[in-house]
Structure formats: C-alpha cells, structure tokens
Amino acid sequence: MTIEWRYTAEQDLGVLSVSGYLGPDAVRRFDGAVGWVVGRGSGPVIVDLTGLRGWSAEGQLAITEAARRLAAAGRDLELAAIPADGSLVPAGDCPPIPVHADLIAALTVHSALNGEPAAGRREWRTTGWPTADHEDG
C-alpha cells in the first residue's frame, strides 16, 4: 500500500496533501514528494494528512526527516489533521513541528484562507490523486 500526494504552492506557502497509508512501502514515495516540494515554492509547508488512513513508525520518521530537509532549505514544516491512531513524537534534534487540528486551522494561521484561488497558485499531483472533475470519496 502506498500514498498519493498533491502539492499546491502559493505565494510564501505550500500545502502537501497526502492520502493512503504512510508505512514502510510508502516512505520512498513520500520522500520523493518532499524533494519535489523543496525544489518548488517558498515559505512554510503544511503537510495535510486529512486523507491519510494511518502511519507506521517509519512513516512518522519520514515526517521528521522531511522537517529536517525543509529546515535545511530555510522552510518550516507544519502538520494538519494527524491520524487518530497516534501522535508524532519527533527526535530531540528535529525542528519544531506545529500541529493543527485540520487544514482550515493551519491556513487560518497563515491568513491564506480566502475562499478563492490565489493568484499564482501552482499545483502538482500523483496520477492517482483525484482531480476536481472526479473526487473520490
């Protein structure tokens, strides 16, 4: 089982939405998504886990490693809607990872919730991510 992802970059903010199960089989794909994010956009990155069905210890480690990679690129990582089956306990050398109840709360903190697509919005996704014309669900 793997994950699907979508990355939306706006001015000074990115949202990486992840769905599926972030387990050992999905870590490499998640790392690839984070590499994509590091190379595009600017500012903090909110990892939206609304569509995530769960995560393993390896998946949680991938999140903390993503926080390190983004910090090295001068960007912060934040989480929205962590799975109910556990909390993230990053290692002591990990940058702080703010956790928001959901994506709306995270966007509100960044004053990015305006109901309309922002000018300059760009989006990338895996082929399995539903499009606006066909939302799975």
Domains for the chain: give ranges and CATH numbers: 3-119 (3.30.750.24)
Confidence check: pLDDT of 52 > 60:
yes
The DSSP letter of residue 44 is -
Confidence check: pLDDT of 28 > 50:
yes
65 CB neighbour count, 10 Å cutoff: 17
Confidence check: pLDDT of 80 > 70:
yes
Band (pLDDT 50/70/90 cuts) for residue 115 is very low
Dist. CA 2–CA 129, nearest whole Å: 12
Confidence check: pLDDT of 105 > 60:
yes
Predicted pLDDT of residue 127: 76
Q: List alpha helices for the chain, DSSP H.
A: 27-38, 57-72, 103-109
Average pLDDT over residues 41-58: 92
Question: pTM for this one?
Answer: 0.82
Confidence check: pLDDT of 1 > 70:
no
Dist. CA 82–CA 52, nearest whole Å: 8
For the CA atoms of the chain, what is the radius of gyration? Answer: 14
Band (pLDDT 50/70/90 cuts) for residue 130 is confident
Residue closest to 90 by CA, chosen among 43, 52, 47, 51: 47
